[in-house]
Every structure is written in structure tokens, then in C-alpha cells.
Amino acid sequence: MQLGKIQLRWVSDGEFKLDGGAMFGVVPKTVWQKRYPCDERNYIRLALNTLLIETPDTKLIVDVGYGTRLTEKQLGLFQLVQPPTLTESLKAAGVAPEEIDYVLYSHLHHDHAAGGTYLDASGELRPTFPNAKHVMQRAEWEEAKAPNVRSAHAYWPENWGVIEAAGLIDPADGEKEIVPGIRVIPTGGHTRGHQAILIESEGQTAMHLGDLLPTHAHLNPLWVMAYDDYPMDSIAAKQRWITKAKAEGWWLTFYHDPEYLAAVWDKDNNLIQSVKAAEAMAIA
């Protein structure tokens, strides 16, 4: 997708599955299942759609999937299906990990951050993107380093330890322009330090809302995940940003949606434009 002078591409790290009830929180299954099918065990397909952003001078990626380090137990638990891996998808797109200038994290849960490191041939952990600044909200970084009893299972120190040791962690204190046209904006909700990424160029806009809007089926501000630590903050942030996106014709992008990569809705919830994953893969 071309937004003015900025190009957006999606590079896959595969698919996994989670319980549909957890993904839709208090929404009854009889309601959400009409929008999002599940299997006989109540699991739903979820994608790992890393967003590759290319400005005239910079390459950035948003959220980095699970990568290649999961144990056999973890592979079974999350039902991760690869290939492709993120690095394989980047190679197919003609981009080397060393070319990435910034890694932007909506938050540091394992399905968004584990791909930031890998095991080399000797079994040593290495940064996947050794020349990139890794940007998250400082509140998120502090939570990841000292999680509470509810969040501890979602933050894995091996996802960032070697990145921190290499001096590549660059926390943002609130809203910040990373490069011209790319801003990070704190939202809270899913985690205390969750952030959105706003992309603007020549009057065109896209927004990545991370796990506030994991799929197109979560467009309703009240449809929030049971995984959200602060659901009322999620609702408030969704009301603010989705309403603005509809009013101004912004693209909204989806990290976990296996069907849609991005879409535009009008104020009456009519789908105006979309980028479907199957169509994008067919073009590729």
C-alpha cells in the first residue's frame, strides 16, 4: 500500500490459534461466532502480520511475531504454523534484517516480541535486527522488566535481554515522532504501556492499533479481549481513535487478522476499502 511517500508492506511470521472466548471477552459466543468462525475446540485462527514501513530514508517494522525460538511445548500450546517465518518473509520482500532502522512494538507480549531475538548456530541468543532501535513506551518497558502477578506469563526476558545488552532499547516517553510521518501514541488498555503507531504522508493516514484492534471483528469499541489488563481504557482508546479514523477516512491495520490486512470504514460502519491477505499473497 502506498500512503503518499510511505510504502506499507505486510510480512508474515505465520499463524497460530487462541481460544475464541478469550479473544472476545464478555461478548457471547453466539454473537462473535457469526463474525469469526472457530473450530470444534473453540479455537480461532490468528495471523502474525508484521507491518514493514518504508519511508524515503528509513525502514521500520511494527511487531515481530514469535520468530523461531519456541520450544516444542510452546509450539503445541500456541499451535504455531510456519513457514513462513518473519525473516523468510523479509527475504522474499528483498529486505535483510540488518537494513531495519527501527522496530516499533505496540507492546511486549510474547506474540509481538519473541521474534526480536534468535538462536545462532552455536545456540547463542542474538538480536534479529542488530542495527535497529527498539521502541516501546517506557511504561511498557518498565512493566516488562518488573511484571505483576497477572502479566508475568506474557513477558519473556529472553525476548529482549540481548537487545538491551547491545544498547538497542529506546523507550518513548509518551507521544513521539520516530521519523517524519511516523508517530507512536500511548493508548494503554491492553497493557499499561500499549501504544499505537500513526502513519501520515501527503494527506493519507493509516493507524496500527495493535491488540486494541487485533482483527476486523473487533471494530466495535465494546468488543475487547479478556487478555486486556485495563479493559475500560481499551474501550476509551478505541472509541477515540476508531471514531476519528472513520470520520477522516484512515486505514486501520490488523496484526492478528488472517483475512484482512487493512481496511477503511465510514461513519456508518460501511466497509469502504480493504486489503485482503489472500489477494495480497496472490499479487506477491
| pLDDT of the chain, 284 residues: tens digit per residue | 999 999 999 999 999 999 999 999 999 999 999 999 999 999 999 999 999 999 999 999 999 999 999 999 999 999 999 999 999 999 999 999 999 999 999 999 999 999 999 999 999 999 999 999 999 999 999 999 999 999 999 999 999 999 999 999 999 999 999 999 999 999 999 999 999 999 999 999 999 999 999 999 999 999 999 999 999 999 999 999 999 999 999 999 999 999 999 999 999 999 999 999 887 665 44
Query: What pLDDT does residue 279 have?
Result: 75
Query: What pLDDT does residue 280 have?
Result: 67
Print the SS3 string covering the chain.
Answer: CEECCEEEEEEEEEEEEEEHHHHHCCCCHHHHCCCCCCCCCCEEEEEEEEEEEECCCCEEEECCCCCCCCCHHHHHHHCCECCCCHHHHHHHCCCCHHHCCEEECCCCCHHHHHHHEEECCCCCEEECCCCCEEECEHHHHHHHHCCCCCCHHHCCHHHCHHHHHCCCECCECCCEEEECCEEEEECCCCCCCCEEEEEEECCEEEEECHHHCCCHHHCCCCCCCCCCCCHHHHHHHHHHHHHHHHHHCCEEECCCCCCEEEEEECCCCCEEEEEEHHHHHHHC
Print the SS3 string covering 172-195.
Answer: ECCCEEEECCEEEEECCCCCCCCE
Entry pTM: 0.96
Query: What pLDDT does residue 172 have?
Result: 98
- Quick one: cell of 66? 514469535
Ordered by where they begin, the domains of the chain are: 2-283 (3.60.15.10)
Query: What pLDDT does residue 284 have?
Result: 46
Contact 126, 118 (CB under 8 A): yes
CA distance 51 to 114: 15
Burial of 144 (0-12, 13-18, 19+ CB in 10 A): buried
Pairing mode, strands 133-135 and 102-104: parallel
